[in-house]
Structure 1
Amino acid sequence: MSKYVFGVDVGGTTVKLGLFDKDGELLDKWEVPTKTENGGEKILPDVAASIQRKMKEKSIRKDEVIGVGLGAPGPIDAEGTVYVAVNLGWGTFSIRDTLSGLLDMKVKAGNDANVAALGEMWKGGGKGCKNLVAVTLGTGVGGGIIVNGEILTGTSGAGGEIGHIHVQDGETEVCGCGNTGCLEEYASATGIVRLARRALESTSEPSILRNRPVETLSAKAVFDAVKENDAVAIQIAEKFGEYLGKGLGVIAGVVNPEIFVIGGGVSKAGDILFDYIKPYFDKTVFKGCKNVEFALATLGNDAGIYGAAKLVLE
């Protein structure tokens, strides 16, 4: 009887892998390097070889494995086809068919942020909910939308790219996507630094943020200063909260989630984030979508492997 499942989270520098039982208990986890040279041709063979080594180590037969789920950056459709993952060197091809061919097992694949959202719904901050939006505030702003327990992928797997909602006209700095005025430019870790730099340049008001070199400014430094009631840091946090709160209000009006689960490096600031996000969310969201919970993600860097495993158990 099949009782195991593997979850794989492909990142730009490392691939995280997890071995789970069918109830979602994590039995083992490990990493292998992500070899992006030559169009990333070694990534999936390395994943397959690593899974096969683990099966040998644990004396797991192939007929005991339900399948392998995989999350990776880039648009990935419901059939497991990736439509270019630039930081992995991948073009357009079927992850599902390629990895399944290497392992002779069932394989499912999805966008990494969407898969992480599934993990948080299953075993993390959104446990017990079937309609949620996971927001990852890291170097960029990632998002995953779950509707009735299923990932919203869209036509080409680009559903849930909430970081690229347009929130500001007149922006001159260009987002990584090539547009300007994206949510990511103000609500990510780098976006908060942008807001901090601009705030410090526009006022001579005293701030503990001035006591450090500009190049060492960080989102953590801003929220540490907020916790010390630094006036300039509070202004920065207000601006961050305004952009993200309004952006989440727009999303709520479209998908009507039960809960927003906030993760990523910025989320380490804790519940104080909600003090700045929720007032702007409440002010702008459609009243029929107001009763949304906010929670911090709880799975951290393991959200991707949990969600990948859940893909196969769907």
Structure 2
Amino acid sequence: MKHIIGIDLGGTTIKGGVIESKNLIKQIVQNTEANKGGETTLNHLKEVIRKLRTAETKAVGIGVPSVVDSERGIVYHVQNIRDWEEIHLKSILEKEFDMPVFINNDANCFAMGERIYGLGQNFENFVGITLGTGVGGGIIQKGKLLSDMNCGSGEYGEMPYLDGILEDYCGSFFFTKKNSNGYDIMQRAEKDDNKAIEIFDEYSKHMAILVKMIVLSVDPQAIIFGGAISNSFHLFEKKMYDNLTDFPFPNSIRNLKILKSKLQNIGILGASALCY
């Protein structure tokens, strides 16, 4: 049975797994040790691949939190890994392991993971959005990841908005400005804390703006939210829809599905989806 390795490369940990027939059958976690420099992180990445590789392994997919030249597999300006300003990761790993290696940024991996393994199987055209420290996005059109020049399409969080960018209002920074964090505020809101509910009502207005930007740019069949903040979807979903009633093209909202991802281990699955 053919195996695919998926690697979720973060600033703190490297999470890797073996996929067999679309099932995650093995996974390991390795410290990135990013503060020691890029060579140390690269060696840890190679170690993870060696531990996961079997005679049945056919390809490796890697998701990274940065800009990627996905055609050539060059990773640029990884903020959380020292000395990774430009690393030709694809060529390095293909030479080391003699198998195909596919690399993209983590938001695109999320969208691909949904397309191959998750709710995105039901849609040919959708946008996957990760809601966490940042707000990243991946665009699927005609069943495939949108091809772009610099891995920047779908990065709606970087759009100018109010006194900053949309990420400031749809990512975790919105909650830290309230002298708390999203998880604590979610717990309070679920216990009917009025102040916490008001915060999510405010958050829903910003999320409606995000939805409007997505619909006006690509008009997808669906938007699928993932990431830590998406766990509070039930707290902002209704008010978000209420703030979409003034959209100039009502059918676009009426026909749009806005969903929360159901996948576990999406970082690993999404990276492996690059290999399909």
Relative to the length of structure 1, the TM-score reads 0.80
> Offset at 1:275?
1.3
Q: In structure 2, what is the Cα distance between the partners aligned to 1:165 and 1:279? A: 22
Q: Does the 8 Å contact 2:137/2:154 carry over to 1?
A: yes
Residue 298 of structure 1: aligned partner: 262
1:242-262 Cα offsets, whole Å, 9 max, x none, are: 111112111112112121111
> Offset at 1:153?
5.2
- Residue type of the partner of 2:66? G
Residue 265 of structure 1: aligned partner: 228
Deviates further, 79-88 or 125-134: 125-134
Residue 140 of structure 1: aligned partner: 134
| 3-state SS, counterpart of residue 18 of structure 2 | strand
In structure 2, the CA distance between the partners of 1:167 and 1:93, relative to structure 1 (3 Å rule), is: same
1:59-93 Cα offsets, whole Å, 9 max, x none, are: x32xx322101000111123122221111121123
Deviates further, 222-231 or 257-266: 222-231
Q: Does the 8 Å contact 2:94/2:101 carry over to 1?
A: yes
Residue 75 of structure 1: aligned partner: 67
Residue 185 of structure 1: aligned partner: 168
Q: Does the 8 Å contact 1:167/1:247 carry over to 2?
A: no
Cα RMSD over matched residues? 2.0
> Offset at 1:151?
2.1
Equivalent positions of 1:81-120 (< 5 A) are 81-89=74-82, 90-120=84-114
Equivalent positions of 1:239-258 (< 5 A) are 239-258=202-221
Residue 154 of structure 1: aligned partner: 148
In structure 2, the CA distance between the partners of 1:250 and 1:282, relative to structure 1 (3 Å rule), is: farther
Is 1:275–2:269 an aligned residue pair? Answer: no
Task: Tell me the percent identity.
Answer: 30
Q: Does the 8 Å contact 1:73/1:112 carry over to 2?
A: yes
Is 1:286–2:269 an aligned residue pair? Answer: no
Q: In structure 1, what is the Cα distance between the partners aligned to 2:47 and 2:201? A: 48
Q: In structure 1, what is the Cα distance between the partners aligned to 2:109 and 2:271? A: 6
- Residue type of the partner of 2:62? L
Mark the runs of 5 or more structure 2 residues left unpaired by the alignment.
none
Q: In structure 2, what is the Cα distance between the partners aligned to 1:99 and 1:276? A: 47
> Offset at 1:182?
0.9
> Offset at 1:299?
1.8
How many pairs does the alignment contain? 273
Is 1:19–2:18 an aligned residue pair? Answer: yes
In structure 2, the CA distance between the partners of 1:77 and 1:289, relative to structure 1 (3 Å rule), is: farther
| 3-state SS, counterpart of residue 283 of structure 1 | coil
Q: In structure 1, what is the Cα distance between the partners aligned to 2:15 and 2:23? A: 16
Q: Does the 8 Å contact 1:118/1:310 carry over to 2?
A: yes
Deviates further, 228-237 or 120-129: 228-237
| 3-state SS, counterpart of residue 294 of structure 1 | strand
Mark the runs of 5 or more structure 1 residues left unpaired by the alignment.
172-180, 198-213
> Offset at 1:227?
3.5
Q: In structure 1, what is the Cα distance between the partners aligned to 2:221 and 2:192? A: 32
Q: In structure 1, what is the Cα distance between the partners aligned to 2:147 and 2:244? A: 25
| 3-state SS, counterpart of residue 99 of structure 1 | helix
| 3-state SS, counterpart of residue 7 of structure 1 | strand
Which has more radius of gyration?
1
- Alignment match of 1:34 (pick from 32, 35, 49): 32
Q: In structure 1, what is the Cα distance between the partners aligned to 2:173 and 2:140? A: 26
| 3-state SS, counterpart of residue 90 of structure 2 | helix
Give 1 or 2: higher strand fraction.
2
Q: Does the 8 Å contact 1:164/1:184 carry over to 2?
A: yes
Q: In structure 2, what is the Cα distance between the partners aligned to 1:45 and 1:148? A: 37
In structure 2, the CA distance between the partners of 1:231 and 1:151, relative to structure 1 (3 Å rule), is: same
> Offset at 1:228?
4.2
- Residue type of the partner of 2:25? L
